[in-house]
Structure 1
Amino acid sequence: MDRRDIPTQPHADVETALLGPILPDRACGDCTACCTELTVKTPEFAKPAGTPCIHLCDQGCGIHAIRPRICRTWFCVWRRVASLPDAARPDRSGLLVSLNFVDKPQTCLEGVSIHVRMLAGSDAIANGMAAAVLDAVCDQLVPVWFSDGAEKMLMHPDNDVAGFVLSGEAAPRHLQGEVAAWRERYGVFGLNR
């Protein structure tokens, strides 16, 4: 199940804890990728993934001054992670990176994760931007998924570590510490779903 919901406000503290605060020198500018790509499900406003927001116009958000709370409080990973280059802004890179929250994950590595989505028409794989973004976000104890629009793939932790985390089997000595850390943090989502 690939849920692409924009998280609601209670997740904001988790976002800050995992990714850091909003960077003061980064702004959305002309980027409106989240206004089209993401699912929004809040009591105040809802829209399906892949559908432009009804308020989106040629100049950006047509109701920016009074936009819904979710639109005022949600920020993509590019706005929070300084190691992502300026060229990684979604409208420049063709990649939308977000922190995802899945209520009923299929595996423990989907409950809270970073999701790197390739936007339609993107050449981020060919030009190396996808590799640069993945390098920047695959450096901490947060699962990272990559989606090219057709397939969703786990990029971090690597397959060996993920296999032991998910199977519950004893890991070889050289992986025991890493596997234990992932199990401790993500076991709350259930190891074998």
Structure 2
Amino acid sequence: METETDLETTLLGPVLADRSCGDCTACCTVLTVNTPEFSKPAGTPCIHLSEQGCGIHAVRPRICRTWFCAWRRVAAMPEGARPDRSGLLVSLNFVQHPQNCLEGMSITVRALPGSDAIANGMAAAVLDSVCDQLVPVWFSDGAEKMLMHPDSDVARHVLSGTPAPADLQDEVAAWRTRYGVFAA
């Protein structure tokens, strides 16, 4: 019997057996959690987070048992890209009311406070590892959010609805087909 694959596994790949969270708890502070079972705002440490990690790890909420950052799923990401080491948290992001069609579902690369990932080149390496498919990629440094993929010429045509030049027509059409469902 075949089981349905979740969207994160389809887009990012399965959880890699050779990568573990270890001491990393970035998601426990950085992300918003809003489920019936558990909620916390972004940028706020989970109430169960202790110096030793998750204080309720054995009985943690389902969202905490089933969610994994992209470093745990994307084999092409550098080993050093684990969030606590790289200063970057990469995840699949869903926006309920997107400002444009490329925000509805995307990969978000977040620079964590104090991160030097831009200066040391890790941000570029991580972006190279996730900007290779038909999934928008945004980079956020905490102050601004910038679209990194698709490139600006393709994004401009996708968002404006203007006809694309011949060399971009197929790519623009593919993005419009996949993300048109998020158009306002």
Residue number in structure 2 paired with 1:117: 110
Amino acid at match of 1:120: P
Amino acid at match of 2:132: D
Amino acid at match of 1:14: L
Task: For residue 115 of structure 1, report the CA deviation from its aligned partner.
Answer: 0.2
Q: Where do 4+ consecutive residues of structure 1 move more than 2 Å? A: none
Residue number in structure 2 paired with 1:126: 119
Q: How many residues align?
A: 180
Map 1:59-74 onto structure 2 (within 5 A): 59-74=52-67
Map 1:48-67 onto structure 2 (within 5 A): 48-67=41-60
Counterpart Cα distance in 2 of 1:109 and 1:16:
20
Amino acid at match of 1:13: D
Task: For residue 103 of structure 1, report the CA deviation from its aligned partner.
Answer: 1.2
Task: For residue 104 of structure 1, report the CA deviation from its aligned partner.
Answer: 1.2
Residue number in structure 2 paired with 1:83: 76
Amino acid at match of 2:122: M
Counterpart Cα distance in 1 of 2:60 and 2:11:
26
String of CA shifts for 1:148-192, please: whole Å, max 9, x gaps. Answer: 0100000000110000001111100000010000001001111xx
Counterpart Cα distance in 1 of 2:114 and 2:162:
41
Residue number in structure 1 paired with 2:91: 98
Map 1:120-159 onto structure 2 (within 5 A): 120-159=113-152
Is the partner of 1:35 in helix, strand or coil? helix
Gaps of 5+ in 2: none
1:189 corresponds to 2:159: no
Task: For residue 92 of structure 1, report the CA deviation from its aligned partner.
Answer: 0.4
String of CA shifts for 1:90-148, please: whole Å, max 9, x gaps. Answer: 00000000000111111010111000000000000000000000000011100000000
Gaps of 5+ in 1: 1-11
Amino acid at match of 1:149: G
Task: For residue 15 of structure 1, report the CA deviation from its aligned partner.
Answer: 0.6
Matching residue within 25, 41, 48 for 2:18: 25
String of CA shifts for 1:21-57, please: whole Å, max 9, x gaps. Answer: 1111111000000000000000110000000000000
Amino acid at match of 2:69: C
State TM-score, norm by structure 1.
Answer: 0.92
User: Percent identity, aligned pairs only?
Assistant: 80
